Amino acid sequence: MKLLFYDTKSYDRASFDEAGKRYPDIAIDYLKTDLAPRTASLAQGYDAVCAFVNSDVGTETVKALHEFGVKVILMRCAGFNNVDVEAAGRYGIPVLRVPGYSPEAVAEHAMALALGVNRRLHKAYVKVRENDFSLSGLMGFNFYQKTAGIIGTGKIGAAMAKICRGFGMRVLAYDLYENPSLKEFITYVSLEELLSESDLISLHCPLLENTYHLVNKDTIAKMKDGVILVNTSRGALVKTEDLIDGIRAHKFFGVGLDVYEEETPNVFEDRSEQILEHSITARLLSFPNVMITSHQGFFTREALAAIAETTFENAKAWEKGETTGNEA
């Protein structure tokens, strides 16, 4: 089987080369360029393409992949909101993804953002480097005995709920489908109740039509004053303009974002030389109680190894005509 790997970073290549030793029948060629309508033609002669969260796997790309003979799309990520799954279905191209490679990796990063922004670690780090050991502006609050609100209790939300319980927090959750294994220590409530009761709100639901801009003017108004909001899920769950208004109105004690609306389509770009004066992310960064990371929640050694392993397993299953449960 021939696989064309788009948007290759050195760490992707390292993890796929390592796992690939166990799959000698799968030959990979790596491309630096990302998958988009104009680069789909490069996949001519390949059975499969491997793409990622910022790849453009929309209608046009899927059509082109079909014309160039690609038979399967392997997403090396959980989310697939950048893939026109319906179009792929029409062309008989299965889309396989990696639904859960290391939920703990993302949940631990969500807690890192919550703690970081609570204890103002981003400010403390810079202050101490400047030889300023004063504590002004660094006061946080205990998570112990406070309330965490988890929106979406799938794999990552469940891991986050367990971490919060470990911190001695009361854990509330909101999900369309309740996870019975969590009921021992979390309480499912309505979204309204979660918003009004929680000191820390962490988003772990997927980006769907009914979750788009879930955090907006109205839902922010229902939150407790002084809440910490963390989003490691998808940027468009939060309406950024409304979030900025909320921050300006001192609604939030802190905001930790690993994902943000503006990141798509080029998530992992080095934008250090761009002028960001019109960017809403730059506006967010101008607030001292906002901490932003670059979609790195998944980025641990264990997660990368698991992503590679599952992608190869998906490819193998597709070749054998087996279903995996990893279909998008």
Catalytic residue annotation: 234, 263, 295
Question: For ligand NAI, which residue of 210, 286, 321, 325 counts as binding (CB under 6 A)?
Answer: 210
Shorter beta-carbon distance to ligand NAI: residue 34 or 175:
175
Question: For ligand NAI, which residue of 8, 39, 82, 153 counts as binding (CB under 6 A)?
Answer: 153
Collapse the DSSP code of 51 into the 3-class scheme (helix H, G, I; strand E, B; otherwise coil) and give the result.
strand
Locus of tokens 């609100």: 149
Q: Footprint of ligand NAI on residues 120-149 (CB under 6 A)?
A: none
For the chain, where are the alpha helices, taking DSSP H only?
10-20, 59-67, 85-90, 103-118, 121-129, 155-166, 191-197, 217-222, 240-248, 280-285, 301-320
Q: C-beta of 98: minimal distance to ligand NAI in Å?
A: 9
Contact flag: residue 5 with ligand NAI (CB under 6 A): no
Q: C-beta of 83: minimal distance to ligand NAI in Å?
A: 13
Burial class of residue 305 (count of CB atoms within 10 Å of its CB; 0-12, 13-18, 19+):
middle
Give the Cα separation of 46 and 29 in Å (integer): 9
Question: For ligand NAI, which residue of 5, 6, 46, 174 counts as binding (CB under 6 A)?
Answer: 174
Q: Footprint of ligand NAI on residues 69-108 (CB under 6 A)?
A: 78-79, 100, 103, 106
Shorter beta-carbon distance to ligand NAI: residue 120 or 234:
234
Give the Cα separation of 223 and 215 in Å (integer): 10
Residue of 25, 91, 198 lying closest to 215 (CA atoms): 198
Residue of 26, 37, 20 lying closest to 3 (CA atoms): 26
Q: C-beta of 173: minimal distance to ligand NAI in Å?
A: 9
In the complex, the residues that contact ligand NAI under the rule CB under 6 A are 78-79, 100, 103, 106, 151-157, 174-177, 204-208, 210-211, 232-234, 258-259, 295, 297-298
